[in-house]
Chains A and B, each alone.
Chain A
C-alpha cells in the first residue's frame, strides 16, 4: 500500500478528444479512386483552352485539389504528387520544365505545415489560409520567371488567388460526399 497523498499516475486512456483535428483521424480515409478521379477532373479543367484575361485569372484547379488532399489525406497525397503533376502542367502550359513542379511542392509543404491548424477552423477560415498558401507559392513562380528576365504578367494573378479561395468551400463539399455516405450506412472505423 502506498502512503496517503501520493497519487500514482497510471497510463489511462485520455478523455475523448473531439476537436475537429482528431475527429478527422477517426474517419475512414478517402478511397484512392476518389483522389485520382478528382485530380483527373481538375487536370482536365486546367487543360481547357484558357486565354485572354482568363489565362491569368483562372484558378489553378490541380493545385487546389492537391492542397485539399494534402490537408485531409496527408498520407496519400504529399509533395511527390505535386512534383509529378507540376511536371505535367509544365508540358501542358509550354512552360520551363520544373517550374510548376516547384510551385506545387512549396504549396503542399505549406499545407503540411498548416494542416493541423487549418483543421481546427471552419471552411471559410481555411480559405484565408489557402489565399496565403497560394500567394506564397505562386509568388515563387512569378519570381522564378522574373529571374529569367521575363516581364511581370500582371495583377490578374491576384484574382486567381481570390477565385481559388472562393472555390475552397466548394471543393470541400464535393470531396466529403462519399465519406458522409459511408457513415450513414453505418460503416465506421
Chain B
C-alpha cells in the first residue's frame, strides 16, 4: 500500500461536473471577448509574456531564410528596384499635386470648408508574422502600446488599406485585415462618387463584399473603390478594392457586388499605422450627471436661447448682404 495508489474515494467534483463548469466558464469568456471586448487586459498580460518567447523562436527561421536569401535574392531585388522606380515615376505627378493641395489646405481650413480629422502622421511598423489562427485573417506588427498604438487605428500600405488594429500588446499589435469577415469600411466608388459600405467576406479567396447597394445602382466591373473617410477612422481616398463581380438578381433588393482588395496584405513587410491627432477628435457630448434637472435646465436654456440664436442668424445674414 503506497500513497500513490488511486484514491479509493474520489475527491472533489466528478469529471463530468468539472467539464460542465469549465465549459460554462469558457463560454462566458468567449461571450465577454466576442461581444464586449472586455478581456483585452488579460490578453495584453498573457501576450506580454508570450511575445518575447515567440520573437526568440522566430530567430532560427530568420537566420536560415536570410542566409538562403543572401545568395538567391539578387534577381528579385533588381526586379523590385525596377518596379519601385516605375512606381516613383507614376506617383511623381500625384505627389506634386498633393503638395499643392496640402499648401491650399490651411486656407480651406480657415474658411471652415474642410474639417481636418486626420493628422497625417503615421507609424511605420514591420509585419512580424501572420497570426497562427486558420480561421481569421490577422497579421502581427512590431509596434504596440508603448509606441502609442491603440485599438481601432487604421493600417495602410503603399497600395491601399490593409486593415485595422484590433488588439494591442505591449510591443506588438494584431491587425485584422479588411478581408476578414464583418470588417467594415465606409467607401465610395471613384467613377461616380457613390457611397457604400464594404464588408470583408471572410471567404477563403480574400474578397470584399459591397452588400448595401440597390439593384439600380451604377456599378461596373473594374470600378475602383476607395475609402470615403466619413467614419473618422480611415483617411479618405485610400485604395480599398476593385469590383470584380456584379450580380443583379431581381429576386433580391440589393445587388451582389464582390471586389478584389488592392492591398496584397500577405506580401507587405512594412505597413503604416495611421495615428489620430488627439486634439482633432470629436468632442464627446457633455451629458449631465444630475440627470433630470440638468436636462430640464438645458431645455429651458435652448428655448430661451432660441430667440437669440435666430436673431444672431438674422444679423449674420444682414452682414453678408451688406458685404456684398
A residues with a Cβ closer than 8 A to B are 25-29, 44, 47-51, 55-56, 75, 78-80, 82-83, 86-88, 91-99, 101-102, 105-106, 109, 112-113, 144-145, 148-151, 153-154, 157, 189
Contact = CB atoms under 8 A, between A and B. Distances in A.
Contacts of B28: 98
B94 interface: no
A44 B58 CA distance: 11
B18 interface: yes
A interface secondary structure, majority: helix
Nearest to B201: A151
Contacts of A75: 7
Contact of A91 (B25, B47, B181, B203): B47
A119 to B, nearest CB: 11
B102 to A, nearest CB: 37
A31 to B, nearest CB: 12
B6 interface: yes
A26 B28 CA distance: 40
A125 B42 CA distance: 40
A154 B203 CA distance: 12
Interface of B: 2, 4-7, 15-16, 18-19, 22-23, 25-30, 32-34, 39, 42-43, 46-47, 50, 53-54, 57-58, 61, 129-136, 138, 140, 167, 174, 181-182, 202-204
Nearest to A29: B4
A75 B105 CA distance: 71
Given A75-B7, A97-B29, A98-B30, 13 more contacts: A44-B57, A47-B53, A48-B57, A51-B129, A92-B54, A94-B132, A95-B135, A97-B32, A97-B42, A102-B27, A105-B19, A105-B22, A149-B181
B4 A145 contact: no
A97 B174 contact: no
Contacts of B50: 47, 88, 91-92
A145 B22 contact: no
A178 to B, nearest CB: 15
Given A49-B58, A51-B130, A105-B19, A98 B202 contact: no
A27 B4 CA distance: 8
A74 B16 CA distance: 14
B26 A102 contact: yes
Nearest to A156: B134
B51 to A, nearest CB: 9
A96 B29 CA distance: 9
B33 A49 contact: no
A101 B22 contact: yes
Contact of B133 (A44, A86, A95): A95
Contacts of A95: 133, 135-136
A106 B181 CA distance: 27
Q: Which of A82, A94, A109 has the most CB of B within 10 A?
A: A94
B203 A151 contact: yes
Given A44-B57, A97-B29, A97-B42, A153 B181 contact: no
A54 to B, nearest CB: 10
A112 B15 contact: yes
A79 B19 contact: yes
B15 A25 contact: no
Contacts of B129: 49, 51
Contact of A28 (B4, B134, B167, B182): B4
Contact of A92 (B27, B132, B204): B132
Contacts of A27: 4
A78 B134 contact: no
A173 B7 CA distance: 27
A25 B6 contact: yes
A162 B77 CA distance: 41
Given A94-B138, A98-B27, A113 B46 contact: no
Contacts of B42: 87, 91, 97
Contacts of A51: 129-130, 132
A113 B19 CA distance: 11
Nearest to B14: A112
